[in-house]
A and B are shown apart, each in its own frame.
Chain A
Amino acid sequence: AQSVTQPDIHITVSEGASLELRCNYSYGATPYLFWYVQSPGQGLQLLLKYFSGDTLVQGIKGFEAEFKRSQSSFNLRKPSVHWSDAAEYFCAVGPNAGNNRKLIWGLGTSLAVNP
């Protein structure tokens, strides 16, 4: 079955600390991979995506993610967290072919940032 797992429901980090949010997926073929962020009461903002090519992708707000095919993972990282990064983070995967291109979403990781 196709699925996305974000193992950490909630993470708290101190401002200035590094961050890694985990995402593992189960899929028949290499999918398209996305990270979205949602601040309270807001819509979803695309942080970054992987379609093909270089497995280390850079996104907005200083985030990066690395696709590891052997581990079926697409972990999100940031070297130094800012208080404004406190939000809900969703990993999503989608098929790179076919007519029914629905995204499969992880349950999200809630990030809190201590001053």
Chain B
Amino acid sequence: DTEVTQTPKHLVMGMTNKKSLKCEQHMGHRAMYWYKQKAKKPPELMFVYSYEKLSINESVPSRFSPECPNSSLLNLHLHALQPEDSALYLCASSQVPGETQYFGPGTRLLVL
């Protein structure tokens, strides 16, 4: 089983809202990732968690705040987003950092 789940599938939020994206995997993977993807573009890495610790932050604005409550869960907290943050947000996991990444279906975010 190589399933990564993400909720919600779609999210519309205003620029003053606070919302969270959730990602879950039960494959025992110890690395989890957040990506942002614009239409017709490759995904852009945002954050990497390795063994539940933040190991890579790709200079992402502080309005995006990741959290890894346990080895199966990854959250992305959103606050005061801008319209240009509208995108598909993808979560991925791998057994360990650098190994094959398995992606979830994504959350399509629209910021109004």
Contact of B98 among A32, A36, A44, A90 (CB under 8 A): A32
> What is the bound-complex CA distance between A34 and B42, given in angstroms?
13
Q: Interface size bucket, A side? A: 20 to 34
Would you give the 0/1 interface string for A82-115, flagging 1 where the beta carbon is closer than 8 Å to chain B?
0000001010101111111111011110100000
A43 touches B100 (CB 8 A): no
Q: Interface size bucket, B side? A: 20 to 34
Given A34-B100, A94-B98, A103-B101, A43:B41 Cβ within 8 A? no
B98 touches A110 (CB 8 A): no
Contact of B102 among A42, A46, A98, A101 (CB under 8 A): A46
Please tell me if B104 contacts chain A, counting CB pairs below 8 Å: yes
Q: Is the interface of A mostly helix, strand, loop or mixed?
A: loop
> What is the bound-complex CA distance between A97 and B102, given in angstroms?
19
B105 touches A43 (CB 8 A): yes
B41 touches A107 (CB 8 A): yes
B45 touches A45 (CB 8 A): no
B100 touches A110 (CB 8 A): no
Would you give the 0/1 interface string for A61-77, flagging 1 where the beta carbon is closer than 8 Å to chain B?
00000000000000000
Please tell me if B90 contacts chain A, counting CB pairs below 8 Å: yes
B residues lining the A interface (CB < 8 Å): 2, 4, 6, 40-43, 45, 48, 55-56, 90, 92, 97-98, 100-106, 108
A residues lining the B interface (CB < 8 Å): 32, 34, 36, 41-46, 49, 88, 90, 92, 94-103, 105-108, 110
Q: Which 8 A-B pairs have the closest CB atoms?
A: A101-B98, A105-B42, A44-B103, A43-B105, A43-B103, A43-B106, A101-B97, A43-B104
